[in-house]
Chain A
Amino acid sequence: MANTLPDPHAAIVIDAGGVAPDGQLNAADGRSISRALGRSQRAARRRAFLLVLPLLLFIVITFVVPIGQMLARSVYNDGFSARMPAVGEWFAAHPVGTPPDEAAYAALVSDLAKSAADKSIGVVGTRINYDYPGTRSLFTSTGRKVDDLRPPFIETLPKVNAKWADPALWAVMREASRPLTPNFYLAAMDRTKNDAGKVVQVAPQQRVYLMLFLRTFILSLVITGLTFILGFPIAHLLATLPTRKANLLMVLVLLPFWTSLLVRTTAWIVLLQQQGVINDLLVWLGFLDNGSRLQMIYNRTGTLIAMTHVLLPFMILPLYSVMRSINPSYERAARSLGATSWTAFRRVYFPQTLPGLGAGALLVFILAVGYYITPALVGGSSGQLISNMIAVHMTETLNWSLAAALAALLLGGVLILYYVYDRLVGIDNLKLG
């Protein structure tokens, strides 16, 4: 019994003669009070930890692990290296710039034969095809004929296809013979390595990602600004109206918020398209003639309008909750001291809304940066964002490493922004409600 934990409450009741010779405070049972306190807190901490354990596990399994895997995939691709070990050894033994000799070709042929036999040559070809387009079928077709090849391979292999003698192909294979590669990050920044191994920009007609990153950030900034301009007065109105009216208005904010994203986006298509409700109305009212209907969708305008609408509640709700807590007597006091209503708003009211504004802006901006469905449906060609390109590489070209590199860059951008925000405004000032 003596070893069990004493009642933590009893432990703090200090005995009359509780000061031990060494000056320590002792509890009634003669133990050190700080140790008893620590022990009781440890038990409480353990209980608290057990309570959050399910959430912690959930986050680790569904969030930390996948993101880690994604980051790993963006720099690690063993499509070539794992299946072509012999030629990989040759590369390791010979420095960059050594022209491939018979030994290299023999290693390549033995790898190709093995890879063709266990049906993994498609994976090998796909990996090389990322860096050297047009070579996937080189691997698969050579794989079908490789058993008939006789040495010297340095002569017979290029006879199957002249590309096997191309130094550029050997440079790409050398790159791919190590599973760790920066190439996908380079590709995600419109860069590539030339034959000499130097990083250069890709051809102008292939440059797309940097421009899309820039467009995504600018559009997200504009959308954040628009939600602020539209949302601020509404939040103010909601916060100052009598509760019953405010609740009614609040429903108007919340109803679209609760409606499926897809439904709202489709509704915008119905409204905005050239044969849509708004254009029909304008033509009927005589503002437009039938031939010059406005193009408000399938371009950047469509993305801007639909995304602003979809993200508006994320600005209004934090602003509203902060505005509710602002004491109106401050503004009245400012007015009574001679401030104009504009000055009172600017110097007294507005600064107090900043925590809500910061939270709203951060929420809207980060959500907008990663938006996918709305630009895909209403963005046309000029309203696409970087996430649409990530989706293309996930589902169409199946270049998951490149998709992961793009996603990692996007994540990095958001984290930098978060850091800057923390330094400028302070994340403690964030108020979500």
Chain B
Amino acid sequence: MKKLLFITTLIGCTAGSAFAQQAKSINVESWCGAYSKSEVEAYNKPFTEKTGIVVNMIDSDDPQTPLTAQVRAKNVSSDVFDIEVAPAIRLCDEGALVEINPDDLPPAPDGTPARDDFLPDTLHDCAVPNILWGTVIAYDKTKFPENPPTKAADFFDTEKFPGKRGLPKNPKRTLYLALIADGVPADKIFETLDTPEGVDQAFKKLDTIKKDVVWWEAGAQPMQLLADGEVSMTTAYNGRVFDAMVAEKKPFEVIWDGQYMDMNMFVIPKDAPNPELAMEYVKFATATEQLANQAKWISYGPARKSSAPLIGKYSDGVTDMAPHMPTAPEHLETAVFDDPEFWADHDAELTERFNAWLAG
């Protein structure tokens, strides 16, 4: 009997201590690949070092999917999610996210309050942005030794630039490119897409390369297709292209003309298991130094103005990061800025139309 008592106490203790340890860790769900690695290096490791809180990184193709599923099932298991703007606004409107007051966020090193330090219109009620990233065209230099393509329109010119094209299998990152290539100015894209004629125009332009397209679904696929020689040109997330070019030394080049600018943001679901620790993490990760640090690992632009001057070299110590940043001034001239409101309204409808077009 005594022995039994002893054993149960022992189990109780270890269970208790295991529990205590668990309370000191948070789950963060983010995208996979080079991007989540940059977050581990720039945010998670220093955060654990400073606070002792362990950060479990959970990878996903698109973290808004598990987030939505967890919220709807009323069983939220992660504390912080790294998602895009449109779902952040949608989930905030649905009351699923914790509201975050910009005054709670750390100021810039020179004392500028966070409200003014983040790029204009990037802070949202429930979300703190960390990076801006671009969808760009990447091509294989060896396929076009002389006369390389330079414009978005060249993507649709398979006569002059032979080879297959890689495009993502969704309307959001294909229709804009068709319109840009058709001569619609970058700041008129969503105005045009809001009309039936504009949508028709985009699909008509896509028709011209439909038979030459290899469709991709996950961010890692386009670089694989390009490396395999399956496509000679593809759109891809600029950080992935950078990773392939610099870290893996592939002969790729980027066309910045008509890049599609997006933002990633941190959100905390209302029923998160550790909301206080989650808030601490978000504050830490979106501070000036951490955002600048992330650029050491991947070429995504920090969302704070005060981070920009701190950006130096890539983690290899040689490559200058500035010219690879999607937020570099010369890359912004023809950039299309994502319009989350437009997509909240029209995503379902255009996805349906896009799928019908694909299948037809």
Contact = CB atoms under 8 A, between A and B. Distances in A.
A120 interface: yes
Interface string A208-246: 100110010000000000000000000000000000000
A274 B95 CA distance: 48
Contacts of A118: 95
Interface in A117-164: 118-123, 125-126, 129-130, 133-138, 140
Given A123-B94, A125-B93, A275 B348 contact: no
Given A134-B345, A137-B345, A396-B170, A381 B359 contact: yes
B100 to A, nearest CB: 14
Contact of B355 (A129, A134, A376, A392): A392
Contacts of B348: 129-130, 133, 397, 399
Interface stretch (B144-152, B210-218, B321-329): B210-218
Nearest to A116: B93
A207 interface: yes
Nearest to A215: B359
A62 to B, nearest CB: 15
A135 B203 CA distance: 23
A92 to B, nearest CB: 26
B154 interface: no
Nearest to B203: A205
A215 B358 CA distance: 13
Contacts of B357: 205
Contacts of B65: 395-396
B160 interface: no
Interface in A77-134: 118-123, 125-126, 129-130, 133-134
Contacts of A206: 352-353, 356
A400 B359 CA distance: 21
Contact of A122 (B94, B215, B346, B358): B94
Interface in A387-433: 389, 392, 395-400
A298 interface: yes
Contacts, number: 93
A382 B94 contact: no
Given A381-B213, A396-B351, A137 B341 contact: yes
B164 A376 contact: no
A392 B356 CA distance: 13
A26 interface: no
A406 B198 CA distance: 30
A389 B355 contact: yes
B93 A274 contact: no
Contact of A384 (B93, B229, B352, B358): B358
A133 B94 contact: no
A399 B344 CA distance: 13
Interface residues of B, number: 38
If over half of B's interface residues share one DSSP class (helix, strand or loop), that class is named, otherwise mixed; here it is helix
Contacts of B62: 395
A119 B95 contact: yes
B230 A380 contact: no
B62, B351, B359 — most chain A CB neighbours (10 Å):
B359
A137 B339 CA distance: 12
Interface string B329-360: 00000000000010011111101110111111
B90 A211 contact: no
Interface string B214-225: 110100000000
B191 interface: no
B110 interface: no
Contacts of A397: 347-348, 351
Contacts of A129: 344-345, 348
Given A119-B93, A120-B95, A399-B348, A208 B359 contact: yes
B229 A275 contact: yes
Nearest to A121: B93
B175 to A, nearest CB: 14
Nearest to A132: B349
B229 A122 contact: no
A273 interface: yes
A298 B164 CA distance: 12
A273 B359 CA distance: 21
A276 B348 CA distance: 36
Contacts of B214: 298, 380
A407 B191 CA distance: 36
Given A119-B95, A206-B356, A381-B169, 17 more contacts: A119-B94, A122-B91, A122-B93, A126-B94, A129-B345, A134-B346, A137-B345, A140-B93, A140-B344, A208-B352, A212-B359, A274-B229, A381-B213, A384-B359, A396-B65, A396-B347, A398-B68
21 contacts: A119-B92, A122-B95, A123-B93, A123-B94, A125-B93, A129-B344, A129-B345, A134-B346, A135-B345, A207-B356, A208-B352, A208-B355, A208-B360, A211-B359, A274-B229, A275-B228, A275-B229, A380-B214, A397-B347, A399-B348, A400-B72
Q: Which 4 A-B pairs have the closest CB atoms?
A: A122-B93, A119-B95, A133-B349, A208-B356
